[in-house]
């Protein structure tokens, strides 16, 4: 083999602590190396041309580049050598920047180390073989998990492009948290007026199939060919028959059922449609409260339903669907403020969460849009908002900023002053975080036009006194303690990962951070991709964000899917395991260990069984290779001989 070695100086990043010329010189000593040089920026256009020229002029059959991490530029150089006619797998990289020049200033030791890493790369390259990717067909259907605004946007954008979309929503209706909001900042648009039409679009688009009251049960397969099992939870109402007339809801005798859509501020019935604009507009039975289930007899809804849709015996149903891509938009949950003992720990009915106040403000809310206290229905005069409840607080394991609270309290304070001009609004805040278009102006309007009192400091204690709530806090700008006699306290409860987010991540084999938010592929440059190819993220499931950002991510994820589906097939990596049938003893251990079910039995003539790898399913982990007793399974591009070659030149 004729090998060329290219040592990059990376400007001074490498050259300042590694003698790149010496490394190149030493590389010429190794067997098969016929060309070696050092260059200022190997990844640049002229740098790549230099490699390509050398391949042609020196008739190179393999290339080693000693530069930055292969996680950075391996694809770049593989493309470059391919353009010059080499197979892209006849290329190796030695990481002499992240692993050498940046972690020590000892020039002599670094140079030694870089030379050895180059030697190892050369040793491995001598065992490389040209590999070619295979192609598999893409199933051009997309699954969107979660029907909040991000999922709705993703589904609509995909459907707009003509794709077949399945939207799975856990709740009886799509709409997510945005459907519960009264107005949106900073324009004070009516939330349901801007979301409603989108929800209707979802229902009307012929190529969107909506599974509400459903959850993803299991996911198998890989990019282009996922097969997903969906659990349709028993609603006890046949949705094919239900017309959404609401008669059952009117007649249901269980009247004290906490209304989850109204954040438990009011009561609803045990059967019904969660809210008037719900999509799909179908009734669901709440088994926890339905008398037919709790007492074993009632049957009022069954009697009254004009179309006979009620079916108490209904069971969960499982359906299997195949997809080429999955968009995850599972949203978030609100932080539960009962862990704040100093704010009453949930004991005071007039200390409420931000979303509860949103329902109070809403004209379709429990009080018809009139601001009143949950405890006694009295109109509050003094309203205190407390920022950062469950955000930026390590003591409750929520050190991150929820991103939206500063803005939503400003909005709620403005709306409060609009509704009740005689009221006084106080906002206790730590910092105001309003980086968005027209956001800071909006907060200033709350302060200047609407006369909301902003107090910089934390609240230490809330306690009831004479039908008021005494809010004790610090004003850190005045350096004084302040006490406000409040009638209503709104906690700007933060955002946390949705319940069940971790379990879903395990099913999708995507990673999540310590708080349960899904990890994007790259925090800057691949914000909607995950490390599992074909699975994309949108909305708050990836991290706290506001509506415009969620919508943008929904569209971005849809664009990613459209790009993927614009081809009919995809390349699969040829770095997969391969069975040498002569050596295989048919012990079946590889089949047992493979996490992806990528190895199966293959029958040869005469009924002899051998293991066989399905290259399109194999992910290239090499577990089978390490397990195989006679080493008949070898992971291509990372064979035993390649690794041993590296070890041998290093240790011998």
Integer Cα distance of 633 and 620 in angstroms: 12
Nearest-CA neighbor of 332 among 516, 485, 73?
516
Q: Which is it for the CA torsion 601, 602, 603, 608, positive or negative? A: negative
Q: How far is CA 106 from CA 17, 103, 534, 650, in A?
A: 7, 9, 44, 20
**Pick from 58, 315, 317, 342: which binds another protein (CB under 8 A)?**
342
Tokens of 474: 């610090």
What is residue 97's DSSP assignment? I
Give the binding-site size for another protein (rule: CB under 8 A): 58
Tokens of 36: 């070696």
Name the segment binding another protein (CB under 8 A); options: 133-141, 363-371, 561-569, 620-628: 620-628
Nearest-CA neighbor of 590 among 577, 607, 576?
577
**Pick from 205, 575, 580, 591: which binds another protein (CB under 8 A)?**
575
Provide CB contacts within 8 A for 303, sequence distance 6+: none
Integer Cα distance of 368 and 222 in angstroms: 49
The span from the first CA to the last CA of the chain, in angstroms, equals: 22
- The residue written with tokens 């004991």 in the block is 347
Could you say which residues in the range 206-265 bind another protein, by CB under 8 A?
none
Of the pair 559, 623, the CB lying nearest another protein is at 623
Burial (CB count <10 Å: 0-12, 13-18, 19+), residue 481: exposed
Of the pair 29, 104, the CB lying nearest another protein is at 104
* Least distance CB 621 / another protein (angstroms): 4
| Alpha helices (H) in 256-313, listed in sequence order | 291-294, 300-304
Of the pair 444, 502, the CB lying nearest another protein is at 502
Strand partners of residue 16: none
* Least distance CB 340 / another protein (angstroms): 8
What is the per-residue binding string for another protein in 481-510, x denoting contact by CB under 8 A? ----------------------------x-
Name the segment binding another protein (CB under 8 A); options: 242-250, 381-389, 422-430, 591-599: 591-599
What is the per-residue binding string for another protein in 50-89, x denoting contact by CB under 8 A? -------------------xxxx-----------------
470 binds another protein (CB under 8 A): yes
* Least distance CB 642 / another protein (angstroms): 10
What is the per-residue binding string for another protein in 510-539, x denoting contact by CB under 8 A? -x-------------------x--------
Contact 67, 14 (CB under 8 A): yes
Instruction: Read off φ and ψ for residue 326, nearest 5 degrees.
Output: -130, 130
**Pick from 171, 225, 620, 632: which binds another protein (CB under 8 A)?**
620
450 binds another protein (CB under 8 A): no
Of the pair 239, 596, the CB lying nearest another protein is at 596
Nearest-CA neighbor of 528 among 323, 328, 333?
328
* Least distance CB 247 / another protein (angstroms): 45
What is the per-residue binding string for another protein in 88-127, x denoting contact by CB under 8 A? -------x-xxxx-xxxxx-xxx-xx--xx--x-------
396 binds another protein (CB under 8 A): no
* Least distance CB 604 / another protein (angstroms): 27
Name the segment binding another protein (CB under 8 A); options: 125-133, 461-469, 490-498, 604-612: 461-469
Nearest-CA neighbor of 23 among 111, 132, 145, 155?
111
Integer Cα distance of 110 and 13 in angstroms: 13
| Contacting residues toward another protein, per CB under 8 A | 69-72, 95, 97-100, 102-106, 108-110, 112-113, 116-117, 120, 340-342, 345, 347, 461, 463-465, 470, 509, 511, 531, 575, 593, 595-596, 619-623, 625-627, 635, 638, 640, 643-644, 646-648, 650-652
């Amino acid at each position: 083999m004729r090998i060329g070695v290219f040592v990059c100086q990376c400007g001074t990043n490498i050259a300042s602590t590694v003698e790149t010329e010496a490394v190149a010189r030493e590389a010429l000593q190794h067997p098969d190396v016929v060309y070696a040089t050092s260059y200022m920026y190997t990844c640049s256009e002229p740098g790549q041309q230099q490699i390509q020229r050398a391949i042609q002029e020196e008739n190179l059959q393999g290339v080693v580049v000693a530069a930055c991490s292969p996680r950075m530029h391996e694809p770049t150089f593989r493309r470059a050598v391919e353009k010059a006619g080499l197979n892209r797998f006849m290329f190796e990289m030695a990481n002499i920047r992240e692993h050498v020049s940046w972690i020590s200033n000892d020039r002599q030791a670094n140079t030694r180390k870089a030379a050895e890493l180059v030697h190892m790369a050369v040793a491995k390259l001598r065992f490389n073989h040209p590999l070619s990717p295979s192609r598999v067909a893409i199933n051009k259907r997309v699954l969107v998990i979660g029907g909040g605004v991000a999922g709705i946007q993703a589904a609509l954008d995909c459907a707009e492009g003509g794709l077949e979309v399945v939207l799975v929503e856990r709740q009886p209706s799509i709409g997510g948290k945005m459907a519960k909001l009264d107005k949106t900042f900073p324009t004070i648009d009516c939330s349901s007026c801007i979301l409603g039409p989108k929800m209707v679009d979802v229902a009307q688009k012929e190529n969107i199939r909506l599974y509400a009251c459903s959850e993803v049960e299991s996911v198998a397969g890989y990019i282009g060919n996922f097969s997903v099992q969906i659990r349709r939870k028993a609603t006890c109402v046949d949705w094919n028959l239900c017309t959404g007339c609401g008669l059952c809801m009117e007649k249901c005798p269980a009247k004290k059922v906490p209304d989850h859509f109204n954040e438990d501020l009011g009561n609803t019935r045990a059967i019904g449609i969660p809210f008037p604009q719900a999509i799909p507009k179908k009734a669901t039975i709440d088994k926890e409260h339905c008398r037919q289930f709790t007492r074993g007899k009632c049957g009022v809804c069954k009697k009254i339903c004009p179309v006979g849709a009620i079916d108490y015996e209904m069971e969960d149903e499982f359906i299997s669907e195949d997809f080429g891509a999955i968009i995850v938009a599972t949203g978030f949950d609100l932080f539960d403020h009962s862990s704040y003992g100093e704010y009453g720990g949930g004991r005071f009915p007039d200390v409420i969460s931000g979303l509860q106040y949103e329902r109070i403000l809403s004209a379709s809310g429990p009080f018809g849009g009139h601001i009143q206290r949950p405890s006694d229905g009295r109109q509050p005069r003094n309203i205190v908002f407390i920022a950062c409840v469950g955000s930026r607080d390590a003591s409750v394991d929520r050190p991150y900023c929820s991103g939206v609270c500063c803005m939503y309290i400003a909005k709620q304070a403005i709306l409060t002053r609009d509704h009740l001009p005689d009221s006084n609004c106080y906002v206790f805040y730590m910092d105001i975080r309003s980086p968005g278009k027209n956001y800071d102006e909006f907060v200033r309007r709350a302060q200047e036009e609407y006369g909301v009192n902003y107090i910089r400091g934390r609240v230490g204690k809330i306690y009831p006194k004479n039908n008021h709530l005494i809010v004790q806090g610090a004003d850190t700008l005045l350096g004084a303690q302040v006490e406000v006699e409040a009638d209503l306290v709104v906690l700007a409860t933060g955002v946390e990962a949705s319940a069940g987010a971790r379990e879903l991540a395990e099913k999708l084999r995507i990673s999540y951070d310590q708080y349960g938010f899904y990890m994007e592929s790259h925090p800057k440059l691949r914000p909607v991709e995950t490390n599992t190819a074909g699975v994309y993220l949108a909305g708050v499931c990836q991290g706290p964000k506001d509506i415009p950002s969620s919508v943008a991510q929904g569209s971005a994820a849809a664009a990613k899917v459209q790009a993927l589906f614009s081809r009919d097939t995809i390349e699969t990596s040829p770095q997969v395991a391969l069975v040498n049938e002569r050596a295989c003893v048919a012990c079946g251990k590889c089949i047992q260990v493979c996490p992806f079910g990528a190895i199966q039995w293959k029958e040869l003539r005469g009924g002899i069984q051998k293991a066989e790898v399905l290259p399109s399913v194999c992910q290239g982990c090499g577990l089978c290779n390490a397990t195989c007793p006679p080493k008949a399974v070898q992971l291509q591009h990372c064979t035993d001989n390649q690794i041993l070659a590296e070890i041998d030149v290093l240790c011998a």
